[in-house]
Chains A and B, each alone.
Chain A
Amino acid sequence: MNIEARTERSINSAIEDNGMESAEELKTTIAGMRFEDYKAPLFVAWQINSECNLGCLHCCEEAGHSMPDEMNKEEVFNFLQQIVDLNIPYVAFSGGEPLLHPHFFKMCEFLRRNNVSLKVETNGEFIDELTAEKLAKLKFRSVQISLDGATAKTHEKLRLKGDWEKAVAACHYLIKNGINTEIVFVPTKFNIHETGALIDFAYSLGAYGVYTGKIMRIGRAAKNWGILSPSDAEYENFFAVLKEKIDLYKGKMKVYYYPYDVVEELKYRLEFPSASVLVLPNGKVKLIGPLPFICGDLKKQSLAEVWEVYKKSWRNPEVIEFAKKVIVDPKLLAKSNDWKQI
């Protein structure tokens, strides 16, 4: 009898807890996981809307107002049914601010009723006690709350119109209701000095984990790069603090971080694309966040059709050539939201 058993790890989780694995180790870990072999994605990252109550300086999606052509209710539920039919195990809802989507709860209910693992990425400002109770009934994989500072002053300097107190209150309500609550922290010049304090604060709240990594030079973050991007020395200190906190909270709270920047990730993805798709509020499917390429339209094509195009698109010379240009000149990342159909 031969029982073959290989553990493969996603690029995110490969660096959890123990951290500091080298790129070569990471490659070895994921090698053999050929995305072309999958009949459907394993993960769908879905920006369900573009509307947001905040105007964060580092927003990758440049969210704010709704897009005029966002998917309507029928299109949304048609897509959800396809996710279920293709047996996609894991979906993440983000936005904009996903809780502002008019069908947010119905969408969550649909996926959870069909046993799809669901994560929601939110600023937390619309989660009061009653909403948290409602969310708890849906048994999410997790709810991620963005906290970009250990203090209101720091958080709100980066998250314009944001309310730190509301985000913290949301964490309290979620944790009280037994929901895995992950805190997401994006380091910038404004807040990187509060990294350690933020992790300690997350632990005091009872968070399931803290997720962080270098700021991605995409969207509004790319446009504000000069004022946001931490220096090498600041990053060096940031990673030292992370190491210390990982040791401190081992076995008590997960501290995840992704040590590579968006250019390093792009280099890696050119070789090993992931078995996941990124869906925009208007149903267009992006190849990957940092590149402007659109490989499908869920208003016109099925997800199965888009998945086949996605697989071929990673071998498209236009994509490879542009990605290589971006690697040489990261300023081109500012064009990541100037979508281009391929």
Chain B
Amino acid sequence: MNFTEHVKIRREKFGTVIFETLSEKIFITNETGARILELIGQGRDLPQMVDELQKVYLGDQKIEKDIADFVDCLKENNFISRK
């Protein structure tokens, strides 16, 4: 999983901004979303991200679905490659 070519990421006080400069679309996320972005930046795949975040969100039953939905949202907006 990788960011597409024109994606830029910047942390702000109110969250993290992802800017796809080719389509000029902007996406804003919170700290949890920012952590997922960090993991994507490190080239982690979905199961690895789930493993990592389960350490923080112990006992959260729907963690896998939440992460998958978030990743789908990034894909739909062309922020990460669909491969």
Chain A residues close to B by CB (< 8 Å): 1-10, 12-13, 16, 33, 37-39, 42, 87, 89-90, 115, 117, 119, 139, 141-142, 180
Contacts and interface: CB of A to CB of B under 8 A. Distances in A.
Interface string B39-83: 000000000000001001100101100110110010001000000
B73 A1 contact: no
Given A13-B24, A42-B17, A1 B57 contact: yes
Contacts of A3: 29-30, 32-33, 36, 66-67, 69-70
Given A1-B53, A142-B22, A8 B32 contact: no
A6 B27 contact: yes
Interface of B: 5-6, 8, 10, 12-15, 17, 19, 21-30, 32-33, 36, 53, 56-57, 60, 62-63, 66-67, 69-70, 73, 77
Given A1-B53, A117-B6, A180 B15 contact: no
Contacts of B63: 1
B33 A5 contact: yes
A33 B26 contact: yes
Nearest to B79: A7
Contacts of A5: 27-29, 33, 70, 73
Nearest to A86: B10
25 contacts: A1-B53, A1-B56, A1-B57, A1-B63, A2-B32, A3-B29, A3-B33, A3-B36, A3-B67, A5-B27, A5-B28, A6-B27, A6-B29, A8-B26, A8-B27, A8-B28, A9-B25, A10-B25, A12-B24, A37-B13, A42-B17, A42-B19, A89-B8, A90-B19, A117-B22
Contacts of A6: 27-29
Majority DSSP secondary structure for residues of B touching A: mixed
Contacts of A115: 8
A87 B18 CA distance: 12
A89 B10 contact: yes
Contact of B8 (A37, A90, A119): A90
Given A4-B30, A90-B8, 18 more contacts: A1-B32, A1-B57, A1-B60, A2-B30, A5-B28, A6-B28, A7-B27, A7-B73, A7-B77, A10-B24, A10-B26, A13-B24, A39-B13, A42-B17, A42-B19, A90-B19, A117-B22, A142-B22
A11 B24 CA distance: 9
A59 B28 CA distance: 35
Q: Name which of A5, A7, A12 has the most chain B CB atoms within 10 A of its CB.
A: A5
A4 B27 contact: no
A43 B30 CA distance: 22
A5 to B, nearest CB: 5
A5 B21 CA distance: 18
A4 B33 contact: yes
Closest 10 CB pairs of A and B: A89-B8, A117-B21, A4-B30, A13-B24, A8-B26, A10-B24, A1-B57, A90-B21, A3-B32, A89-B19
